[in-house]
Structure 1
Amino acid sequence: MSDPLTGEESVPRRLTRLASADNFRDVAGTGAGYPTTDGRRVRRGVFYRSNELQLTEADAGVLAGLGITRIHDLRSQMEVDAHPDVDVPGAVWHHVEVSGIPMELVSGLADADAATRVMRQVYDAFVRSPDARASYAALLGDLATRSAPQLFHCTAGKDRTGWAAVLLLEIAGVDRDTIVADYLLTNEVSSTTREKYLALIAEHLGADKVAVYEPTMVVDASFLGSAYDAVAELYGSVDGYLRDGLGLDGDVLGALRERLR
């Protein structure tokens, strides 16, 4: 069996999918895990990512069976109150809020270009916002200090969660092309959820609004590029962002690398 992103032959590993959370996946990828630039592999079964955990009882049992002991929820308090996570046996819930797509901007979108601009602003803010940096520092610090499997998620599991997964793969030493390809997998694995919400937009706002709002429901390399551009402008490199922007020291980054590889 070959890895769908690298084309390399890999050890077959079952890909766990959840019927009630379609963007749930292992940060390490499929097969034997993503290769790193120094010839190693990202270890599977350590960190998981997902969209909101509106889980069936069976899917909650699947997460418990994976040994997940801590769930980091990146959503706002309003999002949490509206759709609280289902309890996962054996897992402790931890709130680490990161601001997502500003509803006041989304509600007045004129066209798809405006939606794209908003999404780029969101990713830029992941890097520039002091609150966002504090939250990502807290998340990565917590991930570094616990040995059992952990999961992090937001609402769609694509933007706030996507940037967290990107940082973990950067820390692990995965090449940028593979990181971007993994980020874009959201468009494939969560197509059912996206189609559901686009259908609701058509029903309540009109079919002509579907194309306007679609950029807010997908991931795009240009969105991620906005975050990387802000990193380069403000910190020179991802290492500089992790060190100076998030304040992570060598012990935390070393612990993450050890867990990831």
Structure 2
Amino acid sequence: MSRARIRLVAVAFTAVLAFGTLPASAYAAAGPEAGVSARHHGSHPSEATILQIPLQGAVNVRDIGGMRTYTGGQVRRGLVYRADALSKLTAADLTTVSGLGLGKVVDFRIPMELQYDGPDKLPPGLTATPRPVSDLGLYGTLVGAIASGDPVVQERMLGGGRAETYMRDIYRTFVTSPENRAQFAATLREIADGRQGPILYHCTSGKDRTGWMTYVLLRALAVPEAGAGRDYLASNTYRAAYDAQLRAGLKQSGRMQNPDLLIPLQEVRQDYLDAATARMEAEYGGFYGYLTDGLGLDLRTLAKLQSRMVR
């Protein structure tokens, strides 16, 4: 890419971040790419761009492409996928995943999550790259609360707004932790580079660490904040039935009398995202500062990201 082209993309990128969100009518529906089994979320044109990859062993696997940008472009499909844990994929799932042509899988889970949930099941030739992003000990707290089987202990650990506070604190570390920022930055650089082919990244539920990663990527591609936020909140739709079944199982087994204590941990919420973006404003003065100063992405990388991911 020429220096003139880099400057042009960088100027355009900086400019679009200065504007507010576009109206919903600015989003156009995009059909699924040929050969990919997919489900569209919702029937409204502003929602139809969210494309799910249906699997039996994972419920929150999506192609992040399809969104319209401020610049009139559209995020390309078939290049970046977001997911929940892939440790329970079936043989049929592996065939579907193989059809995505992935060149790299990035796993944001911490070692304790791998210990309990198991490593990814992937098509031959693919091995997940561990890139752990801290959950501030939430997974261990959750395991301990459930294992106690004591409703008083569980209420003390998760009730009274404590679960919600825990989630907001975790989201703030996506901005404040140098280690977490390094993991997100490395993934963005690989997406921009493109030499490894299509990339899938995931955590356990595919909603918080994966949700923030996708929100940042879409915003970096000049997708309006409303569109990136809608993609983030869509995890609630894709995970609702699975999470409700988990709560019902815990109650039936007697391990939790009040499994609704888990709902703030199972859901994504606008105020969780707001906790991260507010810290981003305080630390870096806005999204562009987070990309350049927080994540250390230079203009050449941002231009490559745009060139590869937006058509």
Q: Please report the TM-score for the alignment, with normalisation by the length of structure 2.
A: 0.76
Aligned-residue CA RMSD (Å): 1.9
Give the total of aligned pairs.
252
Kindly indicate whether residue 76 of structure 2 is the aligned counterpart of residue 27 of structure 1: no
Kindly indicate whether residue 84 of structure 2 is the aligned counterpart of residue 84 of structure 1: no
Check 1:193–1:62 CA distance in 2 against 1; reply closer, same or farther (3 A cut).
same
Kindly indicate whether residue 223 of structure 2 is the aligned counterpart of residue 174 of structure 1: yes
Whether the aligned pair in 2 keeps the contact of 1:112 and 1:215 (CA below 8 Å) is no
1:87-236 alignment, distance < 5 Å: 87-100=122-135, 102-103=137-138, 105-106=141-142, 107=145, 108-111=156-159, 113-147=161-195, 148-202=197-251, 203-208=253-258, 210-236=259-285
Q: 5+ residue gaps in structure 1? A: none
Q: Distance in 1 between matches of 2:119 and 2:241?
A: 21
Q: Please report the TM-score for the alignment, with normalisation by the length of structure 1.
A: 0.90
Check 1:246–1:113 CA distance in 2 against 1; reply closer, same or farther (3 A cut).
same
**Offset from partner CA, 1:126-147 (integer Å, 9 cap, x none):** 1111111111112212222224
Q: Distance in 1 between matches of 2:284 and 2:274?
A: 15
Check 1:117–1:19 CA distance in 2 against 1; reply closer, same or farther (3 A cut).
same
- Match in the other structure for 2:295: 246
- Match in the other structure for 1:74: 108
Identity of matched residues, %:
33
Whether the aligned pair in 2 keeps the contact of 1:70 and 1:93 (CA below 8 Å) is yes
Kindly indicate whether residue 308 of structure 2 is the aligned counterpart of residue 259 of structure 1: yes
Secondary structure of 2:109's counterpart equals coil
Q: Distance in 2 between matches of 1:241 and 1:17?
A: 33
Q: 5+ residue gaps in structure 2? A: 1-23, 39-52, 146-155
* Comparing 214-223 and 72-81, the one that deviates more: 72-81
- For 2:57, give the aligned amino acid: S
Secondary structure of 1:190's counterpart equals helix
**Offset from partner CA, 1:125-170 (integer Å, 9 cap, x none):** 1111111111111221222222411100000000010000001101
Higher gyration radius (CA): 2
Q: Which runs of structure 1 show a deviation greater than 4 angstroms over 4 or more consecutive aligned residues?
A: 5-9
Instruction: Choose which of 95, 98, 101 in structure 2 pairs with 1:61.
Output: 95
